Amino acid sequence: MSLSVVILAAGKGTRMKSNLPKVLHKIAHKPMVEHIINTVESLGSDAINLVYGHGGDMLKQALSNYNVNWCLQAEQLGTGHAVMQAVDNIKDTDDVLVLVGDAPLISTETLNKLVSAKQNADLALLTVDLDNPTGMGRIVRDDTNNIEAIVEHKDATDEQRKINEINTGMMVMGGADLKRWLGNLSSDNAQNEYYLTDVIEMAASEGKKISSAQPDWHREVEGVNNRVQLASLECAYQHRMAEQIMMQGATLADPHRFDVRGNLEIGNDVYIDINAVFEGEVELGSNVSIGPNCILRNCKIGDNTKIEAFSLIEDSTVAEACTIGPYARLRPGTDLAEGAKVGNFVEIKKSKIGKGAKVNHLSYIGDAEVGATANIGAGTITCNYDGVNKSKTQIGEGAFIGSNSSLVAPVEIADGATIGAGSTITKKVEANHLAIARGKQRNISSWQKPTKNK
C-alpha cells in the first residue's frame, strides 16, 4: 500500500512575532518544516502534500529543491479543514500520514512505529504521556483501554483534564476513511474550527480498530509556538547530537556548548573544545583535536590533525597530521597535504599546500600551489587579482619565501628558490636561485627630526 503524507504548515505563528511563516524558523540552521520533509523522505513515501497559507511565496522559495504538492489553505479554519485541502492528491487506497510542520525533532524511527501500528488497525495515533498536559488534546479511552475520542483542552471536562496521555497531532489512516470522515466534520466547538481529531470519535462509533504508538523521547513531538519554545528545542536537538557524538568516540569539553548544523562524522578519540560549530557535511578523522570557538563547514579533516582556537575552515580538505591556527581561515578550494602547517592570522583560498609546507604567520595565499616543505614567511601575500582576473602563483618544493614578500601572479618560484624579505616578485625565479626585489636603502646622517609646533 502506498503512503501519502500531509504536512500541516499553514499557521502564521502569531506568537513568534515575525513576518516569517512559523515553520520556516530554524532549528540547527534549517527550517523546522525542512526537518520534517527530510524525515518523511527517509520513509519512502509516495507523495508529500504540504498545506500552506501565510507566507506561501517564502515557503515555496525556501523549499524549492523539494518535490511536494502545494495545497493552499486560504483560511485557517482548523486542522480538519487543513487536511481537506490535500484530499484531491490522496487516493482511496493510500495510507495517509498526517504530520504537523512545527515539530522538527520527530524521528524516522518513531514514524515507522506509527505506520507499523496502522498495519493491524484502521487508524493509528501518535500519543505521548506528559506530566503537565495543560492546553493539549486528551486521549479518552474506554473501560477496556480502547481509544474512543480526542477531546481538546478547552472542550474537556475537569475529569478529562486529569488525563496525561495527549494527542500529538500525528496520525495515519486509510484514504477512503479519511475522506468520508472529513466530509462529516463540524465546527460546533469552542474554537469554531474543524478539528481533525474528531475523526477519532467517528472511527470509534463505526467500530473501527484504533491503535497507538509513542515516541521513545517526548521532545520529538514538541511543537513550537514562540521563540522561547524554539530555543528550548534547539538546545534539546544539540544536546542529543552531543550525546550521539560522544557515544561514537568524541570527548566534548562541554556538551552544552556544541553545535551541529548538518551532518558530522567522526573517527575515534576526537576532542572538541567549547563553542565549536559544524555546518553542512563535516568529517573528522581519528585523533583530531578542535580548539575552542572554531567553525567547520563542509570540510574533511584527516587523522591526527590539530585545529587551534578561533579557526574557520570552509569547503576544504585537510590531510593527516596538519596543524591549523589559531585564528586561521581556510576558504573554499583549500587543500592541505599531510603535515602542512597553517598558523595564526593566515588566510588561504583555492590553493594547494604541499606535504610538510609551512605558512605560519600573517599571510594570504590565494590561487596558488605550494610545494612540499616550502616555507612561507610572515606577511607574504600572493597578489592574485588584477581587478578583473585571477592568476596563479606556483611555489616549488623546498622554496623559502622571506617575510613581507609580494608575489605578483602569474608567477613561478621554482624548487629550492629563496626570496629575500620585503621583495616584490613579478618574474619567474629559477630553481635554487636567490631573488631580491626591493628599493635601495639610504642612510641620511644630516636628517633632522621634526619638532612639535608651539
Whether CATH 2.160.10.10 fits 227-435:
yes
Q: Residue 153 catalytic?
A: no
Range(s) of the chain covered by CATH 3.90.550.10? 3-221
- Distance, in Å, from the CA atom of 300 to the CA atom of 336, rounded to the nearest integer, reads 10
Fold of 3-221: Spore Coat Polysaccharide Biosynthesis Protein SpsA; Chain A (3.90.550)
* Pairing, β 347-349 against β 375-376: unpaired
- Distance, in Å, from the CA atom of 232 to the CA atom of 77, rounded to the nearest integer, reads 28
- Distance, in Å, from the CA atom of 6 to the CA atom of 408, rounded to the nearest integer, reads 59
Sign for the CA dihedral angle at 131, 134, 140, 143 comes to positive
CB 82 within 8 A of CB 14: no
- pTM, rounded to two decimals: 0.90
Beta-bridged to residue 278, according to DSSP, are 260, 296
pLDDT recorded at residue 18: 93
Reading the chain (454 residues) residue by residue, the pLDDT tens digits are 699 999 999 988 889 999 999 999 999 999 999 999 999 999 988 899 999 998 999 999 999 999 999 999 999 899 999 999 999 999 999 999 999 999 999 999 999 999 999 999 999 999 999 999 998 999 999 989 999 989 988 889 999 999 999 999 999 999 999 999 999 999 887 788 898 989 999 999 999 999 999 999 999 999 999 999 999 999 999 999 999 999 999 999 999 999 999 999 999 999 999 999 999 999 999 999 999 999 999 999 999 999 999 999 999 999 999 999 999 999 999 999 999 999 999 999 999 999 999 999 999 999 999 999 999 999 999 999 999 999 999 999 999 999 999 999 999 999 999 999 999 999 999 999 999 999 888 999 998 888 888 7
Cell of 387: 581587478
- Distance, in Å, from the CA atom of 236 to the CA atom of 265, rounded to the nearest integer, reads 20
- Distance, in Å, from the CA atom of 171 to the CA atom of 188, rounded to the nearest integer, reads 22
Q: Which residues of 44-78 are buried (b: 16+ CB within 10 A; e: fewer)?
A: ebebbbbbbbbbbeebeebbeeeebbebebeeeeb
pLDDT recorded at residue 454: 79
For 442-453, give the secondary structure using H, E and C: CCCCCCCCCCCC
Range(s) of the chain covered by CATH 2.160.10.10? 227-435
pLDDT recorded at residue 15: 92
Which residue type sits at 31? P
- Other Cβ atoms closer than 10 A to 251: 12
pLDDT recorded at residue 161: 94
Which residue type sits at 16? M
Angle at CA 344, nearest 5°, toward 350 and 379? 75
- Distance, in Å, from the CA atom of 308 to the CA atom of 321, rounded to the nearest integer, reads 13
- Distance, in Å, from the CA atom of 406 to the CA atom of 86, rounded to the nearest integer, reads 64
